[in-house]
Amino acid sequence: MKSLKDILVDGTYSMEKEDLLCYGYDASGIDVLPSAVVWPNSAADISKLMQFAWQNDIKVIPRGAGTGLTGGSVPSNDSILVSFEKMNKIVEVDTRNLNVVVEPGVINGELQRTLGAQGYFYPPDPASLNTCTIGGNVAENAGGPRALKYGVTRDYVMQLEAVLPDGRIIHTGVQTKKSVVGYDLTRLLVGSEGTLAIITKIRLKVLPRPENVITILAAFGSVEQAGKSVSRIIADGIIPRTMELMDRITLAAVNKYKTVGFPEDIDALLLIEIDGNSRAIAADADKVGNICSGFQGKVKIAEDTASRDLLWEARRAVSPALYKISPTKINEDVVVPVTKVPELLMGLQAIGEAAGVPIACFGHAGDGNIHVNIMTDKNDKKKYDEAEKLVRKIFRLTLDLGGSISGEHGIGLTKSKYINMELDSVNIDIMQGIKKLFDAKNILNPGKIFPPASAVIS
Ligand SMILES: Cc1cc2nc3c(=O)[nH]c(=O)nc-3n(C[C@H](O)[C@H](O)[C@H](O)COP(=O)(O)OP(=O)(O)OC[C@H]3O[C@@H](n4cnc5c(N)ncnc54)[C@H](O)[C@@H]3O)c2cc1C
């Protein structure tokens, strides 16, 4: 039987433990070593690898930067992990047609900086943007604070090049604004969590940078008032580019982690940004200020770029800052219609208080996507099991409010056991049929998305 050295050149793969240790985990905290790691240079390298894996029934796991929060890129001991550090080029910046072509290993923040220097931007901006890759963003259909106004990754992917599990290379999508030729395989691959194909090249839409941005901070005495302000702003026809929420527990954690000077004696803070034409946004900022004041919010405008950058640094530090409160967080990212945000926030608070477990809420309140963090300790089994029981309650509350159990982090390993709370068997059957069509041997990122019992593909 052939081995990796027969199909790949030296320096593009390793089976050394010290290399494997660097790739066996993601931000879910799950950690399993693969049997090999491969650093391909091209789609052709990946095609060769997949033909080899297909013929020998070997599992292959794509991995970007490992910032995923649901175990999507966590390997199994008997798998080959593919990492895209060498496929990290911005291939083309076509500002006349407002698009760029990138390899999957490009870091989101690097693309933002390259485009920013030329007066353009790529809207999806996950809070992990300085680390996560565009390939990982596409596989997870990542969102971010700006999704409120500009949408998520799926809204920006025009074309994909990808390698199928049997090694064939597929090109999907078009370079044009429109096309209705056949099924939309591009939209299917976006958000498929590395289970259908390995993405090797991506054409993304970009936009001209807005003329100006105003950043507003509003502090509230309750999460309910903050939630009501969010709902009212949208209902009044104002679409800020971001409306980020931080609750009391989150603010305390950030204040312990970083000197930003967020007020301690409040229950919720909204970080709101409005972008566009200077005159229009000044009028919108006034309206936003009035709405927040109407719900007893204390409103402040960030004076300059430095204070705005500091606020965003603090917002992006929330995830690591929460470890200042408890060693473990069970991290969910539920999403509800924006009018239901106040009810969701009140319901989450009630669930936490009834169980005596701190639940920190923050995130993209403007599009109804709240990151819910159940603070616990995985070394204390009783405590952890009690905390984990709250997940079902949180998902039930979300679904009853017309929401979805994941707005942007995906299902991966950690949420697969809950997927049938949201999807009925007809949906799951069709999805598993699609998986089987792409990957009849179930070798590409197996065990992800579908619940363990139904993950067996007959
Ligand atoms: C601090 C922090 C903040 C975050 N904030 C946000 C946020 O605001 N919005 C948001 O949406 N997410 C957020 N996330 C989650 C995470 O950053 C995103 O899901 C991101 O898209 C993952 O990218 P990655 O490169 O790290 O991918 P990984 O974590 O390495 O992989 C994620 C999934 O993509 C698959 N994959 C990776 N590359 C490829 C490829 N080339 N082809 C096929 N499949 C591939 C993997 O198999 C896996 O299933 C955050 C995470 C952290 C730790």
Q: What is the per-residue pLDDT across 325-375, written as a single tens digit (0 to 9) for each?
A: 899 999 999 999 999 999 999 999 999 999 999 999 999 999 999 999 999
Q: 27 CA distance to ligand 1 centroid (A)?
A: 9
> What percent of the chain shows pLDDT beyond 90?
89
DSSP 53: H
Least confident range from 81-95, 164-178, 310-324: namely 310-324
Shared-domain flag, residues 255 and 369: yes
Domain count, the chain: 3
Examine the pLDDT at 128 and tell me if it is beyond 60.
yes
Shared-domain flag, residues 135 and 228: no
Region of 451 on the Ramachandran plot (φ > 0 left; ψ -120 to 50 alpha; else beta): beta
Best residue for ligand 1 mutational test, from 63, 312, 315, 406 (most atoms within 8 Å of Cβ): 63
Examine the pLDDT at 19 and tell me if it is beyond 60.
yes
Q: CA nearest 367: which of 144, 139, 157?
A: 144
Q: How confident is the model at residue 317 (pLDDT cuts 50, 70, 90)?
A: confident
For ligand 1, whether the C-beta of 105 sits within 6 Å is: no
Examine the pLDDT at 228 and tell me if it is beyond 90.
yes
Which of 83, 105, 138 is the C-terminal boundary of a domain? 83
Q: How confident is the model at residue 199 (pLDDT cuts 50, 70, 90)?
A: very high
Which of 384, 400, 416 is the C-terminal boundary of a domain? 400
For ligand 1, whether the C-beta of 163 sits within 6 Å is: no
Least confident range from 183-197, 244-258, 395-409: namely 244-258
Residue that has been written with the tokens 């940004």 in this structure = 273
CB 133 within 8 A of CB 64: yes
- Check residue 453 and give its pLDDT: 67
CB 335 within 8 A of CB 348: no
Residue 231, burial from CB neighbour count under 10 angstroms (0-12, 13-18, 19+): buried
Q: How confident is the model at residue 309 (pLDDT cuts 50, 70, 90)?
A: confident
Q: How confident is the model at residue 456 (pLDDT cuts 50, 70, 90)?
A: very low
Give a yes or no: residue 447 inside a domain: no
User: pTM for the whole thing?
Assistant: 0.95
Token pair listed for 244: 């980020």
Shared-domain flag, residues 254 and 313: yes
Strands 79-83 and 157-163: unpaired
Q: Which helix (H) or strand (E) holds 178?
A: none
CATH assignment of the domain containing 65 = 3.30.43.10
Phi, psi of 60 (to 5 degrees): -130, 135
Least confident range from 2-6, 85-89, 184-188: namely 2-6
Rounded Cα distance, 406 and 28, in Å: 14
Q: 66 CA distance to ligand 1 centroid (A)?
A: 6
- Check residue 283 and give its pLDDT: 95
Q: How confident is the model at residue 315 (pLDDT cuts 50, 70, 90)?
A: confident
Best residue for ligand 1 mutational test, from 28, 61, 67 (most atoms within 8 Å of Cβ): 67
Shared-domain flag, residues 243 and 336: yes
Name the residue with the closest Cα to ligand 1, atom 37: 136
- Check residue 455 and give its pLDDT: 45
Give a yes or no: residue 114 inside a domain: yes
Q: How confident is the model at residue 410 (pLDDT cuts 50, 70, 90)?
A: very high
Per-chain mean pLDDT for the chain: 94
Q: How confident is the model at residue 458 (pLDDT cuts 50, 70, 90)?
A: very low
Give a yes or no: residue 128 inside a domain: yes
Give a yes or no: residue 191 inside a domain: yes
Give a yes or no: residue 441 inside a domain: no
For ligand 1, whether the C-beta of 321 sits within 6 Å is: no
Shared-domain flag, residues 182 and 292: no
CATH assignment of the domain containing 94 = 3.30.465.10
For residue 407, which atom of ligand 1 is closest to its CA? 11
Examine the pLDDT at 88 and tell me if it is beyond 60.
yes
Shared-domain flag, residues 153 and 289: no
- Check residue 457 and give its pLDDT: 44
Q: What is the per-residue pLDDT across 274-307, written as a single tens digit (0 to 9) for each?
A: 999 999 999 999 999 999 999 999 999 987 888 8
CB 226 within 8 A of CB 268: yes
Give a yes or no: residue 452 inside a domain: no
Mean pLDDT (whole number) for 161-170: 98
Shared-domain flag, residues 113 and 156: yes
Examine the pLDDT at 104 and tell me if it is beyond 80.
yes
Shared-domain flag, residues 132 and 269: no
Rounded Cα distance, 139 and 24, in Å: 18
Q: How confident is the model at residue 1 (pLDDT cuts 50, 70, 90)?
A: low
Q: How confident is the model at residue 262 (pLDDT cuts 50, 70, 90)?
A: confident
Q: 140 CA distance to ligand 1 centroid (A)?
A: 6
Give a yes or no: residue 321 inside a domain: yes
Shared-domain flag, residues 181 and 219: no
DSSP 52: H
For ligand 1, whether the C-beta of 142 sits within 6 Å is: yes
Shared-domain flag, residues 177 and 323: no
Which residue segment(s) compose the domain that 230 sits in?
212-400
Shared-domain flag, residues 113 and 8: no
For ligand 1, whether the C-beta of 194 sits within 6 Å is: yes
Examine the pLDDT at 416 and tell me if it is beyond 90.
yes
DSSP 242: E
Give a yes or no: residue 338 inside a domain: yes
Which of 65, 83, 101 is the C-terminal boundary of a domain? 83
Shared-domain flag, residues 75 and 142: no
